[in-house]
Amino acid sequence: MLHDQSSSLPAYEQGISGPVQKFAARDERTVTLFMLGRLWHQGSDTICRIRNISPGGMRIETAMPLQAGEKVSLETRSSSYLDGQVAWTKDLAAGIRFADTVEHGTLLVAPAGRTGKALTVRAPRFPAAVRATMRVDGWRSKVRVVNISLSGCAVLASTTPPHGSVGELTISGLRPLKFAPRWTQDGLAGLTFLERLGFGELAHWLGKPEMRFMLEGGKIPEDHAR
């Protein structure tokens, strides 16, 4: 649930004590929330928690520390992309100053489909290219994971387990994951994890290209970085 509350400090200045460098005029309103986002920095992407947001910036949390002055890009639940710069850091929290002032209310709205109806908001998906093994009872199949999130993944598979079954997925670098098939289409299958990955667990795995992009030689694809 979102809590809309007035604040005298813009989002990217909240959470720090002592004097701060002023980058812009104080924002009129900050929205406090708990939302997952996708953060690009140092040529790749990872998951982040968005703690609050205002027209001038946002406060986020990451699994690994950022550096003050670092340029970043973020994707929110509305599929909007924002460029910014790290204004401050404190442990795993960081204030992001946007390159341009934004209408922050629109960033919290789920994107609309072709009919105009709001789409279901889901956790950020992250591209991958890694081998995995699916096991259901005595059935076993090698697959390729093409994207992953906290709650599931999509795999490229020659055969898929029947709907309603429960299996185990082994992905290099991650613990074995219990899953249930959700959908299939053109050789792809969507799997729902019965126990979600932890925030830090996924973030640390995403930061290891030798695991995440194993089938690409451990190199981040050129078209992957923003």
Q: What residue type is assigned to position 223 of the chain?
A: D
Query: Residue 162's pLDDT is what?
Result: 83
Distances (CA, A) of 93 to 2, 11, 50, 156, 190: 20, 12, 10, 36, 32
Helices (H) and strands (E) in the chain, counts: 2, 13
Q: How many residues does the chain have?
A: 226
**Mean pLDDT value of segment 38-42:** 92
- What digits encode the pLDDT tens for the residues 170-208? 999 999 999 999 999 989 999 999 999 999 999 999 999
- Domain boundaries of the chain, sorted by first residue: 3-108, 126-216
Shared fold status for 3-108 and 126-216: yes
Query: Residue 218's pLDDT is what?
Result: 86
Return the closest-CA partner of residue 86 out of 2, 4, 15.
Answer: 15
Architecture of the 126-216 domain: Beta Barrel (2.40)
Query: Residue 158's pLDDT is what?
Result: 87
Mean pLDDT check: name the lowest of 43-57, 71-85, 133-147: 71-85
Query: Residue 111's pLDDT is what?
Result: 58
Q: Is the pTM here over 0.75, yes or no?
A: yes
Class of the CATH domain delimited by 3-108: mainly beta
Query: Residue 33's pLDDT is what?
Result: 56
Q: What CA–CA distance (Å, rounded) separates 34 from 29?
A: 17
Q: What CA–CA distance (Å, rounded) separates 62 from 39?
A: 9
Task: Report the mean per-residue pLDDT for the chain.
Answer: 83
**Mean pLDDT value of segment 137-158:** 94
Query: Residue 17's pLDDT is what?
Result: 45
